[in-house]
Structure 1
Amino acid sequence: MQTEQSYSLRLLQWMMAASLALPVALFGVASTISYFSTHDTADEQIERTLDVAHEHALKVFETIDRSLSEINEIIRGIPDQGIISREPALHFRLKQLADSLPQLKSVWIFDARGHALVNSLASPPPVVDFSDRNYFKAHIDRDIGIFIGDTLTPRVPYQGAAFFSVSRRRLTDDGSFAGVIQASVLPEYFENFYARIGRDPGSFFALGLTNGTVLVRFPAIDRDLNLVGQKVTANPRTGLMTVTSPADGIERRVGYRRLSEYPVYVSAGLETSAIRARWLTTISQHLIFGVPATALLFLLLAMALRRTQRLHAEAARRMEAEEALKHGQRLEALGQLTGGVAHDFNNLLTVIRSSVDLLQRPNLSAERRQRYVDAISNTVDRAAKLTAQLLAFARRQTLKPELFDVGKCVEGLRDMIGTLTGSPIEIVMRLPEEPCFIYTDASQFETALINMAVNARDAMNGEGRLTIDVNAVAAVPGPAVQPKTQHGFVAVSVQDTGVGIPQERFERIFEPFFTTKEVGQGTGLGLSQVFGFTKQSGGEVIVASEVGKGSTFTLYLPRVPGIERSQRLHSDESPPLGGDGMSVLVVEDNIEVGRFAADALTELGYATTLVDNAMDALAELTRDASAFDVVFSDVMMPDMTGLDLAQEIRRRQFDVPIVLTSGYSHMLSQSGAYGFELLQKPYSADQLSRILQKIGRGRKVSDSAAE
């Protein structure tokens, strides 16, 4: 009970710990999965946004490139003076182009000295030297195609927003340098576009050159920013990386892609703090539901634990009260048992004492003397039976198990049961056709069956029907703990048509000395013997009763496979034999019992040697084991028991048989006699002589065979 309670408390405590640990573990796993999922989603979003920004930038630069090519074709082969002469028309044409393309601030045509021949801003253009501009100098030495320059500010007298240039060399028929055609591109055009597509918190866009110079950045900052730098060398076309901006110190997840045929990178990204914020938002949504649910579960388990602890404390108090009550009941039962034993033994001792006193009177006739002697003998037998019944109830008697068929054994008791119950009681036996073998003490089984029959007779007041049923069953019915067996059970039922047993008496029917019979009609030990024998044999006894209709007592004894052996020999029926000079080593610590055994054996013609302990017996055997034909030893002795002595004799291989005797031995009741012959106390001289002759004859036969 305490183990189950502690287990339930530990289980609740583990459940409380699990109610916290498991959600935390699951939250950790979910958080990890969500973290990577959020980052993967962010990368996918960056890739999609980069696709849009790349496509937009590519179209813008292709449009500008195509426009510059068209202008170059218009003025191709026209000398500078011819262009100047046509300046108003060309100015109008360039202005139309700049107005039609919102990304353009202006369009210019320069001569070989860096002076503007035509532009879209002013007509005629002011004389200003632009030969120091990078978009001009880049084309002087050779034709490099399209050149995209750094961000510049307008030169006086021109004003307006900053720009970056896209330029190309003016082509001539002989391939010489004639000047530059240049378009000024507004960074704010890209910034406005990026603002429209980058509305998520932490969004980032950049347009930069392959050398790392940033042309456009959203959101804009005051400082120049070299974002990509040398980090794209591993993947110069496209990639995804996490970088920290040196301009603002913000870490970002950035995807970049180069425009085809142009020295320009488009970048799109998200601040890692924004990605983390998304992750934290997702986690917080889990926590909104998870924390209250976990707290509620923990609270419920805590309440269950407290309630269970209170229930266990209450159960412990109740158990203490029940134990106190049971202790009082045990003391009461012990007092009843002690009183019953004292009463019955006092009656027996009275008979013995009276018979002894009468035997001491002079001038007794031989008939009266024999009657008193028989009275003493019969009283001793009754006392032995009483102690055997007590030991049976306590499950401490030494059983002599043997294999026998229950059906044949019950059939053999039919006449005896009929004699005990009387002719007014009809006896019905239902026996199985196939053998039902059990391995137990046959005499104790017969005693149990007779006790149940006598109990049934008394319940029927000497008239009715007694049914004895024997059959094989697979298991014991009911919720009780099943005894261990491999071959099922043999059920032996004794059913009567008597008065039945009231429900309030069910718990006491197997108590020793409990009886509902009148004084002198029974000892109250019959059913206790049935209970003790059945339990010690590894079986179960079940009682069913209905007041006014009768009772059924059923013994369930473990069934074993086997072949029927020869009928048991009742040694009591064989006549006693003389000793014929057989030498017996008697080992008995009780000197009076030992002297009786030695004197009785001497009277019967045995040669006896009496010792009072096992060590002296071993010394005698060590001196000359061949001097003894048999060893007769008590079991219960100090220091070394008779069973230990027998095992030591067997270990030393002394060629002498052993007979053990005991009134009661815990070892023998638990484990049997270990293959040694056993004589139960009290015994008569004739019984002792018979078992010694049995052992002695067996030894003589073996010795003769050896010769």
Structure 2
Amino acid sequence: MQTAQRKSLTMLRWMMVASLALPVALFLIAGYVSYGTTYEEADREIRRSLDVVHEHALKVFETIDRSLSEIDEIVRDLTDADIKAREQVLHARLRQLSDALPQLKSAWVFDAHGRPLVNSMLYPAPDMSFLDRDYFDAHVKESVGTFIGATLTPRSPYQGAAFFSISRRRQSDDGSFTGIIQTSVLPDYFEHFYARIGRAPGSYFALRRFDGLVLARFPVTERSAGPAPHDIPAMAADTDRLVTETSPLDAIERRVGYQRLAGYPVYVSAGLDTATIRNRWLGTMSRHLIFGIPATVLLIIFLTLARRRTEHFYVEAARRLEAEDALKHGQRMEALGQLTGGVAHDFNNLLTVIRASADLLRRPNLPDERRQRYIDAISDTVARASKLTSQLLAFARRQTLKPEVFDIGRSVVALRDMTKTLVGSRIEVVTSVPPEPCYVNADAGQFETALINMAVNARDAMAGQGLLSIAVAPASDLPTPVAPHHRPPLGYVAIAVQDTGIGIPQDQFSRIFEPFFTTKTIGHGTGLGLSQVFGFAKQSGGEIGVTSEVGRGATFTLYLPRVAPSHEPRSEAAGHAAPIGGRGMSVLVVEDNIDVGRSATEALAELGYLTTLVDNARDALEELVGGASRFDVVFTDVVMPGMTGLELAEEIRRLDLNIPVVLASGYSHVLAQQGTNGFELLRKPYSIEELSRVLHKVAPVPHHRAPPVAPNSEVR
């Protein structure tokens, strides 16, 4: 009995010691975890703030850039004498422009000697020189595009707040310097905005140039009459990661993130004082202590019960974490399996057709009619595979669209007969278009595909029988209104596709635009139709809305930004027209994939083209610089190691070689984000007919001859 008591007492003592050591250990662990969590939350807060100030600064600089373009357009054809003669009228116009933009203090037009010809502040402009300003040093020798200067103070007789300049060079037709167009931007405008969003203690925002020169800052530092203040150069922190740094301006350590403004030599930054982050952590730990001390006392009093409950708690917590990890893993695998399974299923079907047709073409003594049928099957299957790839890219918003201005109503009317044939005779198709044209700037082919996809979806929802209504109407705004500065000037065009089908259950609303999600049986749909509509709407600057009631049908409404009509004729697709003969046209083919390059050159040679094949852009430049007159056109792939095809085309344009360039690409994120910069684009996979026609479109008349490359010759 005593032995058992001693053992019990010993166990009790150890448990009492543990009742003190365990809370201390738990508090230390919780403190460590809370420290990391606090910093992670601060990083997320900084990134959210950085996105806000980046979007704000980008819109401001784009607005100022448009204002400079407007001023440039006003004075472009005027001489200095003309500007002085019309100074009063131009002064009023510049004043109206600067008053309309709260970020602008003034707008100026200078002559080549630094004297103001007209400005928005005073009329007439005083006869004084501004040659000592930094924007004259930047522009007088060469064109540097848009220049952002340091913070300056007004000189008499001009008064007011400090400013920094954004300017452009004025130059004559021969490129000689004739003066400067300049706007004075108020740092206070940015600092007031930063003060409004930086209400959290320790908030920090800055707008600075690449060299670290501060243009605007919060908290605001006192501006002196000496050299402009410099913070840590933004280029030193040109990374997606946040950095911890100490500013030389106020000696405060901060956690800071940077983001560059695309197209401008400036960065925005957002951050929090590290002291503030630590105080947040200490506050959290203090709240833990308030509850931790009573819990420790209770733990000592109810020693055994607390220990059992604690053990039970950790066992349950471990089981819950294991269950959550298993659930997340299962969800990831399900999504991955759905995506890969859908792609593999569709592409395997297409590859099966191609493989079977290729095998049948190898059979001897094959009749011409059957041979042609197998060839057509391969061609059609490749087209279907290309369409599937386009739909995937459209859903991911990575498809390189070819926007053009066209009338939505006219396009819907043109597709009416096709839609009737597609949905079947048991479905009544009713179209309604407004009397006035509704123009949009979008990819017409993708729009037609989206409309067909919505019609097919409606047909399947009605089981082949019912009423399908397609209505086009102007819309001033989206169902969920956007910010005024994001709203198109002319509003939107709404294309509503309504059916009388079974409707959409509420539990499926969140998934209808997912790729490969479909309620149809196997073989009756890929699940990519509505996802293509979604991707096309988003990439075109629009939206897609859905309303439905089970048993009463559904309405899909596609919204596209409305634009003014264009006077340029809409181009028509070449379709399956016959290829155009080369007639000796010389083509420089640039393709890093040797098989693709030789296939293109052999096909062109069959049509009478003279070809030279190189496998990289550098060798292509050497060929062109050494004898550009030997070639009529350059046909280049976009995605290549080293210099890309788009960079090659830009370099040919910069060198003024006067040779048209045709780009070829199946997908390029650069093209998807920036476009083709005015160069012709041929999407892969392309047919020889399409290739020959686009070559003749950019270079219709060959002016020389060059020796062709034999099919088995070496690549240069």
Q: What TM-score bracket applies, with the shorter chain setting the length?
A: 0.5 to 0.7
Is 1:557 matched up with 2:560? yes
Partner residue in 2 for 1:576: 579
Partner of 2:429: 427
Which residue, 38, 45, 55 being the options, matches 1:3? Answer: 45
Is 1:341–2:343 an aligned residue pair?
yes
Deviations 1:341-361 (Å, cap 9, x if unpaired)?
Answer: 111111111111111112112
Q: Distance in 2 between matches of 1:473 and 1:6?
A: 32
How far apart in 2 are the matches of 1:375 and 1:419? 23
Q: Which residue of 2 aligns with 1:682?
A: 685
CA contact (8 A) 1:468 1:493 kept: yes
TM-score by length of 1: 0.54
- Pairwise CA RMSD: 3.3
- 2-structure distance, mates of 1:403, 1:516: 36
What is the aligned partner in structure 2 of residue 361 from structure 1? 363
State how far apart, in whole Å, the 2-side matches of 1:452 and 1:380 are: 24
**SS at structure 1 position matched to 2:397:** coil
Q: Retained in 2: the 8 A contact 1:488–1:558?
A: yes
Matched-pair contact (CA < 8 Å) for 1:540–1:557? yes
Give, in angstroms, the shift of residue 306 of structure 1. 6.3
**2:584–2:702 contact (8 Å) kept in structure 1:** no
Q: Which runs of 5+ in 2 are unaligned?
A: 1-40, 50-195, 204-282, 292-319, 704-716
Distance 1:561 1:377 in 2: 39
Number of the residue aligned with 1:612: 615
Deviation by residue 1:296-324 (Cα, 9 ceiling, x = unmatched): xxxxxx99x969x99xxxxxxx9xx9999
Letter of the 1:400 counterpart: K
1:601 aligns with 2:643: no
SS of equivalent residue, structure 1 residue 571: coil
- Deviation by residue 1:354-410 (Cα, 9 ceiling, x = unmatched): 111121122322222222212211111111111111111111111001111111111
User: Which residue of structure 1 aligns with residue 534 of structure 2?
Assistant: 531
Query: Which residues in structure 2 correspond to 1:214-293 (within 5 Å)?
Result: none
Match of 1:144 in 2: none
CA contact (8 A) 2:404 2:570 kept: no
Mean CA deviation greater in 322-331 or 432-441 = 322-331
Measured in 1, the distance between the counterparts of 2:623 and 2:594 equals 18
Letter in 2 for 1:339: G
CA distance in structure 1 between the aligned counterparts of 2:527 and 2:336, rounded to whole angstroms = 14
The answer for the alignment partner of 2:180 in structure 1 is none
For 2:446 and 2:561, locate their aligned partners in 1 and report how far apart those are by CA, in whole Å.
15
Quick check: which has more Rg, 1 or 2? 1
Q: Does 1:638 align with 2:641?
A: yes
- Partner SS state of residue 697, structure 1: coil
Report the Cα distance in structure 1 between the residues aligned to 2:567 and 2:555, rounded to whole angstroms: 29
| Equivalent residue runs for 1:260-659 within 5 Å | 329-478=331-480, 483-563=486-566, 565-572=568-575, 574-659=577-662
Which AA in structure 2 matches 1:670?
A: Q
Residues of 2 paired with 1:488 and 1:356: CA distance?
Answer: 51
In structure 1, the partner of 2:175 is none
Q: So what's the TM-score if we normalise by structure 2?
A: 0.53
User: What amino acid does structure 2 have at the position aligned with 1:615?
Assistant: R
CA distance in 2 between counterparts of 1:531 and 1:384 reads 19
**1:683 Cα deviation from its structure 2 partner:** 0.7
| Residue identity (%) | 64
Does the CA contact (< 8 Å) of 2:576 and 2:689 recur in 1? no
- Amino acid in structure 1 at the alignment position of 2:381: T
Residues 476 and 331 of structure 1: is their aligned pair in 2 closer, same or farther, counting only changes over 3 Å?
Answer: farther
In structure 2, give the amino acid aligned to 1:593: V
Residues 519 and 657 of structure 1, relative CA distance in 2, 3 Å threshold? same
1 CA distance for matches of 2:377 and 2:543?
Answer: 38
Deviations 1:174-205 (A, max 9, x none): xxxxxxxxxxxxxxxxxxxxxxxxxxxxxxxx
In the TM superposition, residue 681 of structure 1 has moved relative to its aligned partner by 0.3
Gaps of 5+ in 1: 16-301, 311-317, 701-707
TM-fit CA distance, 1:596: 0.3
Matches within 5 A, 1:659-674: 659-674=662-677
Shift in alpha-carbon separation, 1:370–1:9, aligned structure 2, 3 A: closer
Superposed displacement of residue 573, structure 1: 5.4
One-letter amino acid matched to 2:45: T
**What is the rounded CA distance, in whole Å, between the counterparts of 1:6 and 1:440 in structure 2?**
31
Read off the aligned partner of 1:3 and give its amino acid letter.
E
Following the alignment from structure 1 to structure 2, what is the Cα–Cα distance between the partners of residues 614 and 6?
Answer: 40
Cα deviations by residue, 1:214-271 (Å, 9 ceiling, x for unpaired): xxxxxxxxxxxxxxxxxxxxxxxxxxxxxxxxxxxxxxxxxxxxxxxxxxxxxxxxxx
SS in 2 for 1:368: helix
How big is the shift at 1:538? 1.0
Distance 1:587 1:423, change over 3 A: same
1:649 shift after superposition: 0.4
Residues 528 and 6 of structure 1: CA distance in aligned 2, closer, same or farther (over 3 Å): closer
Residues 626 and 655, structure 1, Cα contact 8 Å, conserved in 2:
no
CA contact (8 A) 1:543 1:554 kept: yes
Check the 8 A contact 1:459/1:500 in 2, yes or no: yes
Is residue 691 of structure 1 aligned with residue 690 of structure 2?
Answer: no
8 Å contact from structure 1 (residues 428, 468) kept in 2 = yes
Contact 1:403 1:564 in 2 (8 A): no
Q: Distance in 2 between matches of 1:306 and 1:405?
A: 64
One-letter amino acid matched to 1:347: N
